[in-house]
Structure 1
């Protein structure tokens, strides 16, 4: 039995030390105010194990190169869902603080409320773009915004970006966006030409914007490249789909086993770590037609990720051609775990990949069984704040900033989205504005500079759809909505399989009290959750 009172005292002491000015190493000091170019790449609905460097069979050599030449984070957290993640990333605050505690309102369906769940970015926050623009950066964005569609005051150009091309709302068709989910450049809708493909188009436009920035002068640039892939509909190009067709015919458990073996071989997964089991049916219990369709849906998903990797290669090659690769920070991550929203077995198959419906978000979906496998070794998936829903791959490459001795190593310290605001302020010599809530993040610059000490000793908090968590050093309290709180020692149980609530009741109660205090202060709806879709259903009656 652990000595909880002693643990609490020690942790409180560490918290007090964390509030003091942090030690700045020589390397850290050299990187501060160095004003590199900054690129943040966010992909959509990609699982923890879906990159080669995180154990995948999907071919991602260009992204893997970022890991080999940079840093690979093993405990980096998002907010468990599209919109809250984008809100936290863009503002450095909790999503509830900026009006997106659940989701953004669908196009043409304003919620008609104000506050933590109003469904669009409020005015009591800044953005990465606004902060960096004020520091002399050129601010560029391509891809998925998803922070409020109906109020143009919330759009990228009104929130600090100088150039924007992409989709203001959420999911889009990769080949031909349509309806109220079209493409915008600046503040104006634009048509997409024949042969258009979202992943390619967002990269090509990003390169065009960087080129224009280079021609305009020597100011550094900030690029936010937010791919909609691999979010549904899984509109893989046929050639990318065919590359993986048949590779998933052994099923989800075989996939998980192979990925876990690669994770152990790389050191990502400790030998003693017990992976979370798969909860679906045995692959052999399905008939041939079912297995064939499921192989096709997973191949479509893999093809979408392969296309992202091709485009990261194109972007890095461009930076190399302009001599900007050395002093450009690239941060790559996903907005949540793999997506289970297509039902247990997903939807669509090969015919839909080869002949996809256009101008609609109907199409192939991955489904729960594959999503659970894609997040191995963890439990759960998108919507949840267990590790499978909220822990994302995170890579940082910066040749001029990361010490040679650190390149290709894993960062095992905890960090989360809000830290990106603090980090870019640190490296850019920017200033966070006064008169708004304080940034919730800590600079990751010590970790980038090669230090191996925690940047967080204070508790970190989550809530989405009533699913909730608090992480305090190695302890994590987590629950599903309307289910009991669970307590895990992540230092010895990273996959959240052995609930210690019975052994540590005092610590459990202490963490519950901390979460409830935070939730009350932040405006979180509890014990009854706020769900936008339920709200709209009752509103329309």
Structure 2
């Protein structure tokens, strides 16, 4: 495992103690450079579960994280090949997680490319998505939220600032793209590509944190000592054509495309232009790995009973042989909730928010709330979600933690004035 861990960093919860033979990771996101300072500058690096210095000579510092996580993983692949063993590599790139930063030579390639602004660029992306067959032409493009200013209303200085923020973000995406290419080329050169299943996806939609203005600080924004968040306006562009953002359970927060490659087993389908639109979920990734490896999912861990595996193997969708069973899909994050059964989706913002009901077959961008027209369906879906939430330990919600002053902490992320990709969602 290489990259961002972020599923627990207390003793006993490192990749090294959760089944990975080799790991190089950060406890959470935000670290991109070995010499990084600023809000995430104190982030640590762990090698096989043990903390190591970020400037350790074995990592050939100074390094940029996207390169480091790829290089470390390829070394592991070489170990597996030398030992004549199969391998599983979980590569969790930290980019483009905030704070946004990338090599200056890559950022420079994108400066000025976003001066058309989010209004025009969103229309262009929407048309290109339809031309690619990525989205259905009947999916309506969601309008710009009232709180986001029209691009043409901004001063030239404001536009230049926003353009540079997005250039930094685009540079991070290019660095990920280039290193995925490095990985593919290396697997090809090692004779491993044809019989290796690669699954590439994002874990959520665009991030609207830092609000309308975003964050843009430092003497040289984008370098290891700066702090940049692209903010609400560019997240609206990133999530074209959907509503909402990371943290939320509307499609803009959860729906992202999954790209799969397995040359030895995958069959191209001219009928659907190689797009598969069956709704799937990140819980299916474990089930897929267990299936393809011929492994058995354990029933206990260290003597404790564990929750049975919840997902379904994606083998039928990947190979074109067989079918994946229909099932309900569920979400909960920071009080935001959703359930999808067939094309009916019930979704809520926050613990006390009002439920909304959408027919994703005709309204994938969630613009026509059917809650008043179909109250019985909404009530049935809500009960189904409640049962799942209780059985999955989502409910009851833990009590709020108290601050040092004795006052309860509030979830500021859900209290901000924010609204919150495209086969279904992780």
TM-score by length of 2: 0.87
Q: Paired residue for 1:457?
A: 326
User: Following superposition of structure 1 onto structure 2, how do residues 251-290 of structure 1 map, counting pairs within 5 Å?
Assistant: 251-279=117-145, 280-290=148-158
- After superposition, the C-alpha distances for 1:451-490 in whole angstroms (9 at most, x for unaligned) are 585x242221111111100000111000111221110110
**1:214 and 2:81 matched:** yes
User: Following superposition of structure 1 onto structure 2, how do residues 54-65 of structure 1 map, counting pairs within 5 Å?
Assistant: none
Find the residue that maps to 1:353 and give its secondary structure: coil
Q: 1:354, 1:441 → 2: CA distance?
A: 39
Residues 293, 350 of structure 1: 8 Å contact kept: no
Cα 1:537/1:289, change in 2 over 3 Å: farther
**1:296 and 2:164 matched:** yes
Cα 1:452/1:339, change in 2 over 3 Å: farther
- After superposition, the C-alpha distances for 1:321-358 in whole angstroms (9 at most, x for unaligned) are 1110000000011111111112222111695336441x
Cα 1:418/1:461, change in 2 over 3 Å: same
Answer with 167-176 or 339-348: which moved more: 167-176
Cα 1:210/1:344, change in 2 over 3 Å: same
* Structure with the larger helix share: 1
Of residues 106, 116, 137, the one that matches 1:250 is 116
Q: Paired residue for 1:229?
A: 95
- Shift, 1:505, TM fit: 1.2
Find the residue that maps to 1:296 and give its secondary structure: helix
- After superposition, the C-alpha distances for 1:371-414 in whole angstroms (9 at most, x for unaligned) are 11101110000100000001112111000110144696011001
Q: Paired residue for 1:501?
A: 371
**1:200 and 2:83 matched:** no
Of residues 296, 321, 339, the one that matches 1:470 is 339
5+ residue gaps, structure 1: 1-140
Of residues 22, 26, 35, the one that matches 1:167 is 26
**1:432 and 2:291 matched:** no
TM-score by length of 1: 0.69
Residues 252, 369 of structure 1: 8 Å contact kept: yes
Of residues 468, 485, 489, the one that matches 2:355 is 485
Residues 32, 94 of structure 2: 8 Å contact kept: no
Q: Paired residue for 1:145?
A: 5
Find the residue that maps to 1:415 and give its secondary structure: coil
Answer with 164-173 or 280-289: which moved more: 164-173
Residues 141, 241 of structure 2: 8 Å contact kept: yes
Q: Paired residue for 2:278?
A: 413
Aligned residues: 390
Q: 2:149, 2:88 → 1: CA distance?
A: 46
RMSD: 2.0
5+ residue gaps, structure 2: 56-60, 300-304, 408-426
Residues 236, 353 of structure 1: 8 Å contact kept: no
Q: 1:356, 1:162 → 2: CA distance?
A: 31
Q: 2:48, 2:92 → 1: CA distance?
A: 16
Q: 1:496, 1:449 → 2: CA distance?
A: 31
Residues 235, 364 of structure 1: 8 Å contact kept: yes
Find the residue that maps to 1:143 and give its secondary structure: strand
Cα 1:277/1:175, change in 2 over 3 Å: farther
Of residues 353, 367, 372, the one that matches 2:231 is 367
- After superposition, the C-alpha distances for 1:20-39 in whole angstroms (9 at most, x for unaligned) are xxxxxxxxxxxxxxxxxxxx
Q: Paired residue for 2:256?
A: 392
Q: Paired residue for 1:189?
A: 51
Residues 174, 198 of structure 1: 8 Å contact kept: yes
Cα 1:210/1:448, change in 2 over 3 Å: same
Q: Paired residue for 1:112?
A: none
